[in-house]
Amino acid sequence: MYCSVILRGATKQIDRLFTYSVPDELAGSVIPGSLVSVPFGKGDSQRCAVVTELKDSFNGDIGLVKDLCSVISDRPVLNPDQIALIDKISDRFNCTKGDVVELMVPSCVVNHKNPTEVFVELVSRDEAQNVLENESLRSAAHINILEYLLERGKCTRKEIMANLSCSAAQVKALEDKGLVRLLKESSDNEVPQISVVEGVPEGKFTEEYDLSDEQRHAIDQILEGIDAKKDNTFLLFGITGSGKTEVYLNCAKKVISEGGSVIYMVPEISLTPQTINWIKGRLGDSVAVLHSRLTDKQRYEQWDNIRTGKARVIVGPRSGVFAPAKDLRLIILDEEHDGSYKAESHPRYSARDIARMRSKITGCSVVLGSATPSVESFYAAQMGAFKLLELKERARQEAKLPEIIPVDMKEQIKLGSGDMLSLPLRQAMSVAFSENKQVILLLNRRGFSRTLICEDCGEPVTCKNCSVAMTLHNNRRNGTQSLICHYCGYTVPSYEARCSFCNGSHFTKAGFGTQQLEEFLHKLFPHEKVLRMDQDSTMTPGAHKEIIDKFANKEASILIGTQMIAKGLDFPDVTVVGVLGADLMLASSSFKASERAFQLITQAAGRAGRGEAPGKVFIQSFRPEQPLFQFACTQNYRAFYDQEIEYRQKLRLPPYKAVGEIVLSLPDEDMLIRRSNELAKYLKDFLGFQDKRYQFEVFGPVPCVIYELRGRYRMSFVIKAVNKSAVNGVFKRLIADFDHTKYPMSFDNDPQDG
């Protein structure tokens, strides 16, 4: 008996099917989907692999075939439908089959068999907390270890060392201080249960409602689709508060009552203990949860329950789409437009696309839900590829939409209030504080992207070719500044810039950050406590949850932050929301800028007045009369969509054409410039010879928005083509024709930002 295997995590050079012979004593236990250990290469080093098929014969040189060594997991780790997905994902997202296996078989599964291991636990939680609070520890590693243990409880030393990059000696030092204890145990000893999180109210979703007619209709349509066992995709388009969750839960309940499984994905940030409790409260114990705060052991337990079919509902972020669900009947993506469904490092997969690929193989249905669907999904619904289901009414009659107030910052600057907080917003904040209410300020400032805004008319300087805002770059060689278009590369020195709207030549550099805002608030409201949530303040594990908890417990009255705070959070005492620097969202160079801004403002507005008190939302902009802000103020998605789709069509942007991005990064700037010019020449020559049907266009090289990253300089190329597979065709040529060590490139066929 022989078998074909894929090596887990294989690089391009060894990303093939390899044949091994199955020794007699393992014959019964090796089947397609088994995780096995095989000898590989000259030194016969052990590698982890997945069996894709069994074969009776082998028509190559039998003398060269090696025996596989052992079976790592007694049951198969992949279903047949997952095996069928591997090639498709590898092809679509330009990664190896071995990369896909790595996504499907997480390391907690590979490492599972570990008879005895060293565990670490805190001697006393209070003591650990004290030590952290009085800042008596000098070593960052020690602090990290204590925080890790406080967050997760007991775990293995191996895991701590791997996840925090620290040494056994550093753990030992904490033992010597009497803060932790080390234990030798069998790792199968006790399996911690992920129970309902304490202290969080469970009631909210446990009660079943009388469904509205709209909800009933949506549920009936989806259940019909599931019964048909065809790859139906539904777009559930429902305003915030229309009761989409109720639709998901009803459908999920029906599926599990018939013995099927459901994958229920939510954006990374909304996987709060509340969400998990609501779902458990309604669907019972057959819920498995996969999230980033689990230890390897907890994660393995959840994963194993899914594989055996004990867990029938899988709740998780984008990686949930790879779960080994048994008899999969339904995949739900809540907030389908959310950026976290797209992986931002290799392999850059999109969970939304993979859900659809999985439904084509298994015949399960897909439900995409949102109040602000992505333009691509809404277009697909308009074209009839997705079935559109609408919820137009708020589920709770008494829930009121907040009042949305646009503020013109040109006037505010003339009045002397500066460009951070307008007078009406300040007033509303004072009133809120006097009533013991809370305020959220949203300031979305990605990366270091800055732009010039005309002081006369408020327009950002835009590219003459692409009508997207241009980004300000410092020229490191001679200390000058230039404006660069991140689509076509068009560049002007900043002193030559003219407003494309009124031809003005006086500009403000737009862009203040969350830290500056925080300092300003301390001066303005010295008695109020401020919490700040952005990428810098949420680096450590658990920091995000801590900020949310503090704000929920009303330890602070102001929460400021980037887009992280706009999604899914539910604070009943928030009555005022400010959206600051709204123009900056549009001034990002991405063609998705308007879409993101509309989504963000709508979601942020949904944060105000969730409780009894009605909410107010202030949108601060230099151009409040812009249609986009008007659409957001009236929560008019369709008007926004109509304008946006026209723009996309005019500029031949997705969904009309596919866009791909290639980023070349090198530590030496001169080398980078030389090699990107070579690459540009190659692309232009090569694409120039292609059939016109592919409609290739190439732009670049252009410096990336974040030009210097981790010691490397980065240049980007954008290609457009008739569809994604044509874009992938170009990527494959580049991978084949260029030496990766000399031309380190990354490829993305669905770029999210410019």
Q: Which residues, other chains included, contact 688 with Cβ-Cβ below 8 Å and sequence gap of 6+?
A: none
Residue 594 sits in the site that holds ligand ADP (CB under 6 A): no
Which of ligand ADP, Zn ion, none lies near 490, with the C-beta cut-off 5 to 8 A by kind?
Zn ion
Residue 602 sits in the site that holds ligand ADP (CB under 6 A): no
Q: Where are the alpha helices (DSSP H) in 20-179?
A: 80-92, 97-104, 107-110, 125-133, 140-152, 157-164, 168-176
Query: Which of 238, 320, 511, 660 is the binder for ligand ADP (CB under 6 A)?
Result: 238
Q: Where are the alpha helices (DSSP H) in 24-139?
A: 80-92, 97-104, 107-110, 125-133
Candidate ranges 2-10, 85-93, 209-217, 467-475; the one touching ligand ADP (CB under 6 A): 209-217
Number of residues in contact with Zn ion under rule CB under 5 A: 7
State the minimum distance, in angstroms, from the CB of residue 703 to Zn ion: 14
State the minimum distance, in angstroms, from the CB of residue 219 to ligand ADP: 11
CA-to-CA distance for 626 and 583, rounded, in angstroms? 10
CA-to-CA distance for 471 and 587, rounded, in angstroms? 8
Residue 211 sits in the site that holds ligand ADP (CB under 6 A): yes
Rank residues 212 and 636 by Cβ distance to ligand ADP and give the closer one: 212
Query: Which of 73, 96, 187, 245 is the binder for ligand ADP (CB under 6 A)?
Result: 245
Which of ligand ADP, Zn ion, none lies near 241, with the C-beta cut-off 5 to 8 A by kind?
ligand ADP
State the minimum distance, in angstroms, from the CB of residue 468 to Zn ion: 7
Burial letters 206-239, b for 16+ CB under 10 A, else e = eeeeebbebbeebbebbbebbeeeebbbbbbbbb
Instruction: With H, G, I as helix, E, B as strand and everything else as coil, classify residue 477.
Output: coil
Residue 487 sits in the site that holds Zn ion (CB under 5 A): yes
> Pairing mode, if any, of strands 328-334 and 365-370?
parallel
Distances (CA, A) of 497 to 213, 477, 503, 622: 56, 20, 9, 19
Candidate ranges 78-86, 207-215, 577-585, 646-654; the one touching ligand ADP (CB under 6 A): 207-215
Residue 241 sits in the site that holds ligand ADP (CB under 6 A): yes
Residue 370 sits in the site that holds ligand ADP (CB under 6 A): no
Rank residues 243 and 561 by Cβ distance to ligand ADP and give the closer one: 243
Residue 212 sits in the site that holds ligand ADP (CB under 6 A): yes
Burial of 638 (0-12, 13-18, 19+ CB in 10 A): exposed
CA dihedral sign of residues 744, 750, 752, 754: positive
CA-to-CA distance for 676 and 682, rounded, in angstroms? 10
Three-state SS letters, 693-734:
HHCCEEEEEEEEEEEEECCEEEEEEEEEECCHHHHHHHHHHH
Distances (CA, A) of 206 to 256, 276, 312, 623: 17, 12, 18, 45
Residue 483 sits in the site that holds Zn ion (CB under 5 A): no
Strand pairing partners for 2?
Answer: 21, 55
State the minimum distance, in angstroms, from the CB of residue 46 to ligand ADP: 48
Residue 51 sits in the site that holds Zn ion (CB under 5 A): no
Task: At 347, give phi and psi (nearest 5°).
Answer: -75, 130
Residue 395 sits in the site that holds ligand ADP (CB under 6 A): yes
Residue 242 sits in the site that holds ligand ADP (CB under 6 A): yes
Rank residues 46 and 465 by Cβ distance to Zn ion and give the closer one: 465
Residue 485 sits in the site that holds Zn ion (CB under 5 A): yes
CA-to-CA distance for 218 and 226, rounded, in angstroms? 12
Candidate ranges 286-294, 477-485, 673-681, 742-750; the one touching Zn ion (CB under 5 A): 477-485
Rank residues 381 and 463 by Cβ distance to Zn ion and give the closer one: 463
Rank residues 238 and 406 by Cβ distance to ligand ADP and give the closer one: 238
> Pairing mode, if any, of strands 658-666 and 745-748?
antiparallel
Strands (E), 546-597: 558-561, 574-580
Query: Which of 52, 90, 156, 215 is the binder for ligand ADP (CB under 6 A)?
Result: 215
Residue 274 sits in the site that holds ligand ADP (CB under 6 A): no
Of 220, 139, 284, 339, which Cα lies nearest the Cα of 753? 339
Residue 467 sits in the site that holds Zn ion (CB under 5 A): no
Which of ligand ADP, Zn ion, none lies near 466, with the C-beta cut-off 5 to 8 A by kind?
Zn ion
Candidate ranges 26-34, 139-147, 240-248, 473-481; the one touching ligand ADP (CB under 6 A): 240-248
User: x/- site string to Zn ion, residues 489 to 508, per CB under 5 A?
Assistant: -x------------------
CA-to-CA distance for 249 and 252, rounded, in angstroms? 5
Query: Which of 66, 125, 346, 396 is the binder for ligand ADP (CB under 6 A)?
Result: 396
Q: Which residues, other chains included, contact 23 with Cβ-Cβ below 8 Å and sequence gap of 6+?
A: 67, 68
State the minimum distance, in angstroms, from the CB of residue 486 to Zn ion: 8
Residue 402 sits in the site that holds ligand ADP (CB under 6 A): no
Residue 465 sits in the site that holds Zn ion (CB under 5 A): yes
Residue 337 sits in the site that holds ligand ADP (CB under 6 A): no
CA-to-CA distance for 436 and 445, rounded, in angstroms? 29
CA-to-CA distance for 582 and 389, rounded, in angstroms? 31
Query: Which of 244, 282, 437, 445 is the binder for ligand ADP (CB under 6 A)?
Result: 244
Burial of 189 (0-12, 13-18, 19+ CB in 10 A): exposed
Which of Zn ion, ligand ADP, none lies near 395, with the C-beta cut-off 5 to 8 A by kind?
ligand ADP
Which of Zn ion, ligand ADP, none lies near 274, with the C-beta cut-off 5 to 8 A by kind?
none
Which of ligand ADP, Zn ion, none lies near 109, with the C-beta cut-off 5 to 8 A by kind?
none
State the minimum distance, in angstroms, from the CB of residue 397 to ligand ADP: 8
Query: Which of 48, 463, 565, 698 is the binder for Zn ion (CB under 5 A)?
Result: 463
Candidate ranges 317-325, 344-352, 487-495, 524-532; the one touching Zn ion (CB under 5 A): 487-495
State the minimum distance, in angstroms, from the CB of residue 238 to ligand ADP: 5
Strand pairing partners for 561?
Answer: 442, 533
Strand pairing partners for 40?
Answer: 45
Of 510, 587, 591, 584, which Cα lies nearest the Cα of 754? 591
Positions that interact with ligand ADP (CB under 6 A): 209-212, 215, 238, 240-246, 395-396
Residue numbers at the binding site for Zn ion (CB under 5 A): 463, 465-466, 485, 487-488, 490
